[in-house]
Structures are given as C-alpha cells and as structure tokens.
Amino acid sequence: MERVEELGSRIDASRWTRAHTLIFTSTSLGMLIWGLEAAIGPAGYLVFHRSLLFLIAYYALDFIGDIAIGRLSDTRLARKGAFYLTMSLIGAGIIILGVDIALTGGSGLTAVLVGLVGAALMKVGIEGEVPVSLSFLAESAPASARNRVLVLSPNFNNIGSALGAAVLYLTYTASNSYVYAALALIVVTAVALALTLAVRLAMPESARWLLEKGMRDRALREASRLASQPASSVSSVTPTVGLGGRYAFLVALGVSQYLTFGLMAYTIAYFYYHGATTYFIMLVASLGAAIAGIPAALLPDIMDTRNFTLLAYGGGLASMILIAAAFLAMGSHGFLALFYPLLFLNMVFSELAWAVRTVYEPVLFPTSIRATMIGLVRAVPIVAYDVSLYVTSAWDEWQFMVFNLGFWGLGAAAAVAWRLIGYDTRRALLESASSPRPGTRPGAL
C-alpha cells in the first residue's frame, strides 16, 4: 500500500499539469474575492454612518471561519468540499448585505444589524477560504513551484483590494455616494464568486488529504491528475524546531504583518481622512502590495527562506520608521503628499512579509492538522486587530504611527530568532518540512 511520503514524493517531483492550473486559478479567485471583501468593511463602515459597532463586529468574525472551516476541512470536508461551504456562505452574505444597503441606504440601527448578518456570513466564508487554500496549494503543487504559487495566489488578495478600492474611488467620485460605491463593489464581488464556482467544479481533490484519511483508490485517481512525469528531484530537510515553536513563530509574524497592513492600508484611511481620499489611500496601499507580489514570488526560491524573512520584516520596520519620522517632522497637514510614496514602500515590504507567512504556514504543519493550525495561527492576529480597532479609534495619528512601529519591531525580532534556530524549506518534500518532531525525517514518522 502506498504511503503518504511516496505519493507526496511523486506529486512534489511532478511537472505542472492542467489540474495544477485549475487549483491555482481556484485559489487565486478566492483570494481575489478576499481582497474585494476587505474593501467592503471600510465601505460598510462609511455607509452605516461611521458605525464602529459594524466595523468591530465585522472584523471580530474573522477567526470563526479560520478555525471552524479549517478544522472541518482537515477532518470531514477535505479541501474541495470546504470550498463549497465557503462559497455558499459568501453568496448568502452578499445577497443579504446588498439588499440591505439597497433598501435602507444604511439608515437606522436595524439596517446596521441586518447588514452585520450578511457581513457575518460573508466574512466567515471568506476567512475559511484562506487556511483551506494555502493547505490545498502546498499539498498539490510541485515542490519546484510551491513557493511561487504560495505567494502568487495570495497576491490576488492585493489585486482584489486594489480593484475594490478602484471601484469605490471611481464610483464615489462619480456619484458622491457611499451607498452607490458599496453596491458597485458588492456586484463585482458577486461576479467573481460565480467565476470561482465554475473553476472549482472542474478541479481535483487533495490526494494527500484523501490518502491521509485512508481513501487510497480515490487518492491515486486524483494523484494521477497531479503527478505527471518527474520534472525535478526533491530533497528532505530535518526540522530544528517543534510544532509549538513553529506556532509561536508564525503567530508573531502574523500579528506583525496582519495588524500593520490592516491599520496602515485601511484603518488610517477611514479614521483620519474622508471622501475620495479614504479610497485613494486604500488604492495606493493595495497597489504597492500587489506590485511587490512579483519579486515576492521569486525571492523565496533564490534565497534561504530565513534570510527572506529577515529582509521582509527588517525592511518593513525601516520603512515604518521613515513614515513616523516624516510625520513627526511635517505634521498632519504637510504629511499627506509624502505619505503616499512612503506608504507604497511600506506595503511593498508588507507584501514580502505576507509572502513569508504564506510560504511557511502550510509547510510547517502536517497534513492531518494543516488547515486547523493555519486557522489557529491566523486567529491570534485577527483578534488582536479587532482589539486594535477599538483602542486606536480614540488615538491621534502620532500614537497610531508608534503603535504600528512596535508591531513591525515584533516581526523583525521573530525573524532574527528564526534565522538563528529555524530551518530553510525551499523545494523540500512537504512531509519532511512538516514533520511534527524536530530531528526526524519522513521515514521516521
């Protein structure tokens, strides 16, 4: 009977196939929807008359999808099955939120509460997509392409955010209406969801997950779509850090990158600015991150992933110091013109930091708990971000800058620690990089 390691070696050494293209397209469209949805939060905040209740409740729901759907994907639904659940939740949420805004224009407490129901369904579905997508990509992509697809696919989140911000900016500029801007964004999101469903109907299931659950015959059928003639050799690595240490490392990276991106790309825009300027700040930030996705996809394959981590988080810290220094020197009135290019630079490093996370998160945990652990990693920064929204809502801009600076410092410290005691995962057999005990290789599992 074929072992997980043997099947994994065939998949990891494979050439790129049509099935890989379908999986990559599926996860990329899901990430695009996530980016569009990220812009819906600020749009809803403005539609519902700057209701902090809507904003905090909206982001507070993130971790439910990460943990619950990630766990269901690991235990019962597999990867493709979990996607049908996430798409159902997203679709229902889009309908409820869209109808609510169209009929009420965001006026009244009832409108806010109904909007929250729709947003909740959509948010849980969207967040559930992330651990499932990263797991699916890591389990299915050839080792020679794994790092690239784990960066390029999530980069569609940035492309979606940029598209969403552009839709909001252009619609608001033409209509001077937060309501019309939000409705236009909801329509675009619905179209993207329909395209995603069409692709997912044709793609395979995760062969590694099926074999892990004892479904050998089906696993071999699906693997035949993913394992063509070998294109490259695959090496093994020996982990130097246990699962607890890997979890702590990824949580520190997650808190640093998630909060600094969200606070600088979105929160600063709608807390301190108004009208079209709000959407333009979001657009600049998203474009910086999206453009950086190209070098971010190449660097983890040509340099030690530990050094790549240092580059990303060290650069983010340095660029945040520049932003804080510029604000301190110029004040809020003369700061905005310089803020745009500095924010763009900061978002470049934020994308590199996001690439570090998407490369490491699915690779450092074994198949049986992969999506669950990714969800548990992501839950911590999500909760921290929600708390930060409440805390920073009463702060001035300088306090806000210092707050972000501290979180970049946390990420840089974690990067230094991993460089000293962590291990490189480039082109490694997935089962070796994710081995649960340090000092063991796949054959010893």
Cβ pair 357, 109 in contact under 8 A = no
**What Å distances lie between residue 19 and 70, 204, 208, 419, CA to CA?**
23, 7, 15, 35
Q: What pLDDT, on a 0 to 100 scale, did the predictor assign at position 270?
A: 74
Cβ pair 161, 286 in contact under 8 A = yes
The residue type at 320? M
Q: How far from each other are the two terminal CA atoms of the chain, in whole angstroms?
A: 16
Determine the Cα–Cα distance for residues 135 and 436; give it in Å rounded to an integer.
16
* Domain over 4-444 is classified CATH 2.60.40.10: no
Determine the Cα–Cα distance for residues 39 and 214; give it in Å rounded to an integer.
41
Determine the Cα–Cα distance for residues 217 and 205; give it in Å rounded to an integer.
13
Angle among Cα 81, 125, 88 to the nearest 5 degrees reads 60
- Residue holding tokens 């969801």? 193
Helix (H, G, I), strand (E, B) or coil at 441: coil
> Over the stretch 134-167, which tens digit does the pLDDT of each residue have?
999 999 999 999 999 999 999 999 999 999 999 9
Q: What pLDDT, on a 0 to 100 scale, did the predictor assign at position 233?
A: 73
Cβ pair 69, 115 in contact under 8 A = no
Q: What pLDDT, on a 0 to 100 scale, did the predictor assign at position 389?
A: 82
Tokens of 15: 């050439």
Q: What pLDDT, on a 0 to 100 scale, did the predictor assign at position 40?
A: 85
Tokens of 369: 């708990």
Runs of H (alpha helix) within 235-304: 243-262, 268-272, 275-302
Determine the Cα–Cα distance for residues 138 and 300; give it in Å rounded to an integer.
14
Angle among Cα 273, 279, 284 to the nearest 5 degrees reads 105
Each residue's pLDDT, cut to its tens digit, for the chain (445 residues) gives 456 778 888 899 999 999 999 999 999 999 999 999 988 877 877 788 666 666 676 676 778 899 999 999 999 999 999 999 999 999 999 999 999 999 999 888 888 889 888 988 999 999 999 999 999 999 999 999 999 999 999 999 999 999 999 999 999 999 999 999 999 999 999 999 999 999 999 999 999 999 999 999 999 999 999 877 666 678 899 999 999 999 999 999 999 999 999 889 888 887 788 788 888 998 999 999 999 999 999 999 899 999 999 999 999 999 999 999 998 888 766 677 888 999 999 999 999 999 999 999 999 999 999 999 999 999 999 989 888 988 888 898 899 999 999 999 999 999 999 999 999 999 999 999 999 988 765 544 3
> Over the stretch 347-390, which tens digit does the pLDDT of each residue have?
999 999 999 999 999 999 999 999 999 999 999 999 898 889 88
Angle among Cα 17, 21, 24 to the nearest 5 degrees reads 135
What value does the mean pLDDT of the chain take? 91
Helix and strand totals (H; E) in the chain: 18, 0
Determine the Cα–Cα distance for residues 66 and 328; give it in Å rounded to an integer.
38
Q: What pLDDT, on a 0 to 100 scale, did the predictor assign at position 444?
A: 41
Cβ pair 276, 172 in contact under 8 A = yes
Domain ranges of the chain: 4-444
Q: What pLDDT, on a 0 to 100 scale, did the predictor assign at position 193?
A: 98
Determine the Cα–Cα distance for residues 15 and 229; give it in Å rounded to an integer.
6
pTM for this predicted structure: 0.92
Q: What pLDDT, on a 0 to 100 scale, did the predictor assign at position 390?
A: 84
Cβ pair 305, 426 in contact under 8 A = yes
**What Å distances lie between residue 164 and 35, 72, 159, 182, 238, CA to CA?**
7, 30, 8, 9, 42
Tokens of 333: 């009135």
Determine the Cα–Cα distance for residues 250 and 357; give it in Å rounded to an integer.
7
Q: What pLDDT, on a 0 to 100 scale, did the predictor assign at position 445?
A: 37
